[in-house]
Structure 1
Amino acid sequence: EEGHRPKWTLAVEMLDELAEQGLRPPVLVADAGYGDNGQFRAALDERDIAYSVQLKGEALAHTSEAVPAVREWSGTGRCGRRPADTPVYPDEPVSLARHVAAAGREAALTVTWREGSKGALSSQFVFLRVRPAGHRVPRDLDDGILPERWLIAQWPDDEPEPVTYWLSSLPADTSHTDLIRYAKIRWRIEHDYRELKTGLGLDHFEGRSWQGWHRHVTLVTAAHLFLTLLRADPKAAAPA
């Protein structure tokens, strides 16, 4: 947190500032520090920003087939009052880990998402449609239905249980390969950050003024953009 404000609110403010400049991410990716926060995911939904975020297997969800219903009134409610006619899910949600365990290892599919320095990168994944639950997850105002999302679990053949979980708001017809490509694209962020620090001197600044730091970061970012454009240019000569 910065002061008394959660980090996720600062991230949302940055997205709003980008939107004011006419910019928006095609898909937002985040680690479990953000993905576990239902308020953060709800803020992305409110802004119609698609996401693929990592989270822990303890997070709760209903199956995609679960349907809320209005509770019947027995006349013995607290203080004799009739409960509000708000649809609720009759069954309690269960953890993402339990959803994947119920599907079983036989549901896992092998997906290759990109070429690495030592060959193709592939692993086994379970893909399910679920409805994430929690009091901070907004529901449809008319029927109380929770939004449907992709639950993705990486479950390698040599592991006794899944090693990573993601939730994604990408459309239901998104291919498995694309789902994994977006889920795994955080490697690019880590790669770029490492290049900024070790190759371009992001961490070499030793001054104390905001203006000096701002200029240093701007120059480093411009250098990184130049290198990225060179790498992306199909006409650029191959390195020796």
Structure 2
Amino acid sequence: MTTKDLQRSLPLFRDFLDRFTPHLVVDKRTESRKDRAEAYLRGLLLDAESTKTSESIALKVHGDASQVRMTQVFLGQSAWADEPLRGELISWVDAEIGADDGILIVDESGFPKCGDQSVGVARQYCGATGKIDHCQTGVFLAYASATDHTLLDERLYLPEDWATDAKRREEAGVPEGVVFRTKPELALELIRTVGPKVRHGWVTFDEGYGKDPAFLSGLEELDERYIGEVPKSFRGWLKRPDVEEPKSGPKGRPRRKARVKAGEPKPQTAEEIATALPASAWKRLRFREGTKGTQQAYFARIRIVVERDDLPGPEMWLVMERSCDQSPYVKYYISNAAVDGPLLEMVQAGHHRWPVEDCFLRGKQEVGMDDYEVRGWRGWHHHMTLVMMALWFLVLQKRRLGEKIQHGHDAA
């Protein structure tokens, strides 16, 4: 966004800030927070290709080197609460673009970092570099409807060696109540917190979350309808096997848990199930119009009893996708959709992860999502909250100017 663009949108920008101001300014002593937030948001929004550190933002917006330290303090040390701002954002998103068939999308994003002092930094898989790298990882929740899409909330992943290191926690300002949680646990917490506040009909995710039984059962407990990718090793039965309950063994000691009865079929992998399907089970479906044309593939689905802790769990849909390429790939999805749920609707929901990828792309290319230099817990969450606000402002600006969303955008 250029300075001219922002000037043209100044009334909208001021109304936008007014919506969040009550959560920033709580008394006379905190009145300056509004000006600081406005300046930081301006810095994030202006000049998409420029680097957007606290220093560069202060110099760009204020033109005064004396403001650099104040900007750094506002972002990394000032005690304003970021959760109420995200709560206001969620409420606004629901009112503006919310729909009963909206989709909550879980995904994570990596932020490469040097050194070992940035909170949560560790050698782990980093999507930004496509390899194991020194980075921080955030788990994010995006929202998409037929109208538009944006980010709603986030959680910083704190590796276990960080969570149990009292010295590092203190230096980074990690709150006492924060304990180690896996990425699927953080994702489930996001859905539990945000889900009741925004209209939606689906939750979707990649196989990093789909392979976690506790994540899937947690969604079921929340009564969320979902479809998400699972690995080819995901297992289930085509027919529910008989189970025998614990009973005393030959020496009088009872088994601790139930087990599948001897002689019952073993669970099959998703790959094995797909391989055994007849050709007639596969249907060619056109499921999305994208910038590269109509996207289509072959799909099949079958009801299976999923394996949970070596025992039969709930009955669900296993959806299989085979590409139309000469060397086809196969993807697998699991869904708790209704028995009579339309296949095309399931396929479209399962393929609707591109909006979160688009949010990450625009966040990093346009509003400085990965340009931060703060090291502490508070600064990371402050920055990400302001980035999500900036992304939402761009959505609102686009809507007010009457620009049409590219529903089939192919995000990198």
- Whether these two folds match at TM > 0.5 is yes
- Partner AA of 2:192 in structure 1: D
- Partner AA of 1:2 in structure 2: P
Gaps of 5+ in 2: 1-157, 161-179, 406-412
State the match for 1:140 in structure 2. Answer: none
User: Alignment partner for residue 250 of structure 2, among 67, 78, 94?
Assistant: 78
TM-score (norm 2): 0.48
Alignment pair present for 1:176 and 2:343? yes
User: Alignment partner for residue 186 of structure 2, among 6, 10, 26?
Assistant: 10
CA-CA distance at 1:232 after TM superposition: 5.5
- Partner AA of 2:402 in structure 1: A
TM-score (norm 1): 0.78
Alignment pair present for 1:201 and 2:361? no
CA-CA distance at 1:132 after TM superposition: 0.8
Q: Secondary structure at the match of 1:29?
A: strand
State the match for 2:201 in structure 1. Answer: 26
Q: Secondary structure at the match of 2:266?
A: coil
State the match for 1:135 in structure 2. Answer: 309
Gaps of 5+ in 1: 138-144
Distance 2:381 2:344 in 1: 39
State the match for 2:18 in structure 1. Answer: none
After TM superposition, where is structure 1 displaced by more than 6 Å over at least 4 residues in a row?
Answer: 80-84
Q: Secondary structure at the match of 1:57?
A: coil
User: Alignment partner for residue 49 of structure 1, among 208, 221, 224?
Assistant: 224
State the match for 2:60 in structure 1. Answer: none
- Does the CA contact (< 8 Å) of 1:39 and 1:136 recur in 2? no
Larger displacement relative to structure 2 (30-39 or 205-214): 205-214
Distance 1:164 1:214 in 2: 34
Greater relative CO (CA pairs within 8 A, separation 6+): 2
With over 3 angstroms needed to count, the CA separation of the structure-2 counterparts of 1:123 and 1:232, relative to structure 1, is: farther
Deviations 1:65-123 (A, max 9, x none): 4353659x9xxx63378989x68462211111111111134321111111101211111
Distance 2:188 2:199 in 1: 12
The structure with the largest alpha-carbon Rg is: 2
RMSD of Structure 2 on Structure 1 (CA): 3.3
Alignment pair present for 1:167 and 2:334? yes
Distance 2:341 2:220 in 1: 18
Deviations 1:151-194 (A, max 9, x none): 11111243566521110111122211111111111111111111
State the match for 2:402 in structure 1. Answer: 236
Distance 2:218 2:326 in 1: 34
- Does the CA contact (< 8 Å) of 1:38 and 1:136 recur in 2? no
With over 3 angstroms needed to count, the CA separation of the structure-2 counterparts of 1:106 and 1:215, relative to structure 1, is: same
With over 3 angstroms needed to count, the CA separation of the structure-2 counterparts of 1:191 and 1:237, relative to structure 1, is: closer
Q: Secondary structure at the match of 2:308?
A: coil
Distance 1:214 1:27 in 2: 27
Distance 2:332 2:159 in 1: 27
Distance 1:136 1:232 in 2: 50
With over 3 angstroms needed to count, the CA separation of the structure-2 counterparts of 1:107 and 1:198, relative to structure 1, is: same
Distance 1:83 1:203 in 2: 52
Deviations 1:117-143 (A, max 9, x none): 121111111111111113176xxxxxx
Q: Secondary structure at the match of 2:159?
A: coil
Aligned residues: 226
With over 3 angstroms needed to count, the CA separation of the structure-2 counterparts of 1:118 and 1:214, relative to structure 1, is: same
User: Alignment partner for residue 353 of structure 2, among 183, 186, 193?
Assistant: 186
State the match for 1:153 in structure 2. Answer: 320
Between the two proteins, what is the percent identity of the paired residues? 26
Distance 2:322 2:404 in 1: 38
Alignment pair present for 1:121 and 2:295? yes
- Does the CA contact (< 8 Å) of 2:237 and 2:268 recur in 1? yes
- Partner AA of 1:7 in structure 2: K
